[in-house]
Chain A
Amino acid sequence: MKKVLGLAAVALLGLGLVGAQAADKLKIGFIYVGPIGDHGWSYQHNQGRIAIEEEFGDQVETVYIENVSEGPDAERAIERLARDGAGLIFTTSFGFMNPTVKVAKKFPDVKFEHATGYKRADNLSTYSARFYEGRYIIGQIAAKMSKSGTAGYIASFPIPEVVRGINSFMLGAQSVNPDFKVKVVWVNTWYDPGKEADAAKALLDQGADVIAQHTDSPAPLQVAEERGAIGFGQASDMINFAPKAQLTAIVDDWSVYYKGRVKAVLDGTWKSEDVWGGLAAEMVLMAPYTNLPEDVAKAAAETQEKIRSGEFHPFTGPIFKQDGSQAVGEGEILDDGTLLGMNWYIKGIDDKLPQ
């Protein structure tokens, strides 16, 4: 028995060596927090991975681990990719920040890219997208399309990213209708179709007639579709799930960024950076404006172009906080630091931020 095992081990070792010889191409690893089939966050990151394979072909090899819990398991999963010979590793959720920092310290020759975090090192970059730019646009659309003047907003966790999204959505809506109302439901999950659908139903029952979401499943849109309401896709274009209800979607497109970073590694020009790109960087895209009157679609496209060209910033003052104090004065723009740590609502949002 022992002998057989030994032989098998030798044979497999041989296989391993063959594998190692072919390894002069760049191996790129991805860690996903969800399943790649979620049609939301992890799905879009995986689309970025596929784009890398298509662009660079034989020069690269990509591997991924999906459904990695943001907890004790994360560090092991990241380290496995590094040990497996990956030269560039993308960790694609905020909760992977400290594990990524730890593994990056252990493997100084491997390059790491962490999405949505704020800790960097010589071999650790951070990147994120300015999704709030898209949220301003859908806020405007919502205010124009809503008959009841009330939107329902399905929010995941009260972290700055989500709070910033709600504020931006509301700023967009207020630019059309200063009395616009938004009802927020916190579902405390990024992905739970059942919970998200329940929240959407509750919001529609409470008088909202347009649904916005900061969770990843198409379930809220599907509820809107069933109930004759309208809504917006999240992370990916969800038009197939709700052909009549989706007005547009805020699409996370990581492929341009990912391809750029891979090229930088291949060229030897990779440097640790902090990238926060939006419409202009093509990290945020808007799905086609559908199911909309022509003037609304046109106005949305105009706003999109203004934000993209830098002519307009969604967080341009005057902006007042919920408690009445002024956050930024007339004509000024809220700085990135404040945006990144945002933990307050703007005036007009009828909800108490969970603390």
Chain B
Amino acid sequence: MRLELEKRAERSSLMALLSPVIALALTLVTGGILFAALGQNPVIALYTFFIEPLTASWSLQELVVKATPLILIGVGLAVCYLSNNWNIGAEGQFTFGAIVGCVLPIMFPGFESALTLPLMLVMGVAGGMAWAAIPAFLKVRFGTNEILTSLMLVYIAQLLLDWLVRGPWRDPDGFNFPESRVFSEAATLPALADGRMHLGAIFAIIAVLIMAVVLLKSLKGFEIRVLGQAPRAGRFAGFSQNRMVWFAFLLAGGLAGLAGISEVSGSVNQLTPIVSPGYGFTAIIVAFLGRLNPIGIFFSGFLLALSYLGGEAAQVGLGISDKTTRVFQGMLLFYVLACDTLILYRVRFGRPSATGRGN
């Protein structure tokens, strides 16, 4: 007796559409049970977790701040994954973009003009692209596995940042503590409202809209998907595999770099040893949760951001551990993947069939 997954002959498009909703409902039910087991009123706990952060202007803005980098990186990664380029290193591209973008406000703090911010943003994008170009080059030239190279470059970027803020870029008035100087007004992304929401949110929306049109409506989008799903067919159609590697990595790197410099300039206002609480990795989850669709990524970015904010609200409001947040996120992902799998496949109990069809 064994378990087997068998591909369904036809899949229900209604179920496919409902899948994330079912997953969310299952998460809420399990979450409720979990909270009840912790001795909390499940309704109040779930309210604190998922609704309370949406009830005040400041926390809504914080939600946008948290979702912005996730969405920016996520839409770039979607192009990578759709075209079969496994860029795991967005965290590094984010970090390197932040580093390059901060050259101006840290090394030339006196340079304060209307050009400061645009130049910082351009340099941030260029930094992210440059960092992503390394695995792209290695893949195109030597056939190196991009999963490994892009991932390892994350650590290099993080250590480079660490070295910079402890060494040459240390705040000269900072008692040797590992932080850069705080940026001037001219190097700070303007806020959009009274809270911390900054211009980066607009970049994220623009990125989602453009990528939605490109992926869903343009020839380029077709090319991306064909090369991802059937590289041979793509070649017959005259699409270049190598050009696609470059395109996907540079696009994802550029967006991650933009996210990096936006976060540092708009939210943190200085370089610190850590500029990202794992945005580049969380964005991988966001991309898949959004089914590699820019509009879907927009929503999944907010959902994940909400789970972080909700986790903090629950810690303060209910006094439950931050581990609960992690369990919650894990549950959500588990249910989404499980629902997706069960819509595409059916579970069969029994012996493998005589023909040995394993999958």
Contact = CB atoms under 8 A, between A and B. Distances in A.
Interface of A: 8-9, 12, 15, 29, 35, 63-67, 69-73, 75-77, 79-81, 83-84, 94-95, 97-98, 118, 157-160, 188, 340-343, 354-355
B111 interface: no
Given A71-B268, A84-B316, A159 B176 contact: yes
Contacts of A73: 66, 277, 308
A222 to B, nearest CB: 23
Contacts of A79: 58, 62
22 contacts: A12-B47, A64-B316, A69-B274, A69-B277, A70-B273, A71-B268, A71-B274, A71-B275, A72-B65, A72-B268, A73-B277, A76-B65, A76-B309, A79-B58, A95-B272, A98-B270, A157-B166, A159-B178, A341-B175, A341-B176, A343-B176, A355-B167
B322 A67 contact: yes
Interface of B: 43-44, 47, 51, 56, 58-59, 62, 65-66, 162, 166-167, 175-179, 182, 196, 263, 267-270, 272-277, 308-309, 312-313, 315-317, 319, 321-322
Given A8-B47, A72-B277, A76-B65, A159 B177 contact: yes
Contacts of B65: 72, 76
Nearest to B41: A15
B315 A64 contact: yes
Contacts of B274: 69-71, 95
A275 B72 CA distance: 43
Task: Identify the 7 closest CB pairs spanning chains A and B, nearest first.
Answer: A341-B175, A71-B274, A69-B277, A343-B176, A67-B322, A76-B62, A63-B316
B38 to A, nearest CB: 16
Nearest to A5: B51
Given A71-B272, A80-B313, 4 more contacts: A72-B268, A79-B58, A98-B269, A354-B166
A268 to B, nearest CB: 26
Given A66-B321, A67-B322, A98-B179, A8 B43 contact: yes
B175 A158 contact: no
Contacts of A355: 166-167
Most chain A CB within 10 A, of B176, B276, B308, B321, is at B176
Most chain A C-beta atoms within 10 Å of own C-beta, residue among B167, B177, B313 = B177
Contacts of B277: 69, 71-73
Given A72-B277, A98-B269, A160-B177, A83 B56 contact: yes
A84 B182 CA distance: 28
B58 A94 contact: no
Contacts of A15: 44
B162 to A, nearest CB: 7
Contacts of A81: 316
Contacts of A64: 315-316
A75 B267 CA distance: 9
A12 B317 CA distance: 13
A341 B177 CA distance: 8
Contacts of A118: 175, 177
A72 B315 contact: no
Nearest to A355: B167
Contacts of B308: 73
A213 to B, nearest CB: 20
Contacts of B269: 98
Given A65-B322, A70-B272, A188-B162, A75 B175 contact: no
B261 to A, nearest CB: 13
Nearest to A65: B315
A9 B308 CA distance: 21
A2 to B, nearest CB: 14
A151 B160 CA distance: 30
A270 to B, nearest CB: 22
Nearest to B175: A341
Contacts of A157: 166, 178, 273
A341 B166 CA distance: 13
Contacts of A67: 322
Given A77-B312, A84-B316, A98-B269, A72 B175 contact: no
Contact of A72 (B47, B275, B313): B275
A127 to B, nearest CB: 16
Nearest to B276: A71
A203 to B, nearest CB: 22
Contacts of A77: 312
Contact of B322 (A63, A66, A94, A188): A66
A262 to B, nearest CB: 18
A66 B179 CA distance: 22
Nearest to B173: A118
Nearest to B266: A72
B97 to A, nearest CB: 14
B224 to A, nearest CB: 31
Of listed B175, B178, B275, B317, residue having the most chain A CB within 10 A: B175
A98 B263 CA distance: 15
A81 B58 CA distance: 13
B276 A72 contact: yes
B312 A72 contact: no
Interface centre among B66, B167, B270, B272 (most CB of A within 10 A): B272
Contacts of B315: 63-66
A66 B167 CA distance: 29
Given A8-B47, A66-B321, A67-B322, A72 B176 contact: no
Nearest to A340: B175
A158 B276 CA distance: 21
Nearest to A337: B175
B312 A76 contact: yes
Contact of A65 (B43, B44, B312): B312
A310 to B, nearest CB: 25
A70 B322 CA distance: 16
B312 A94 contact: no
A321 to B, nearest CB: 15
A166 to B, nearest CB: 14
Contacts of A354: 166
Contacts of A160: 175-177
Contacts of B162: 188
B312 A158 contact: no
A156 to B, nearest CB: 11
A119 to B, nearest CB: 10
Nearest to B61: A76
A69 B317 CA distance: 20
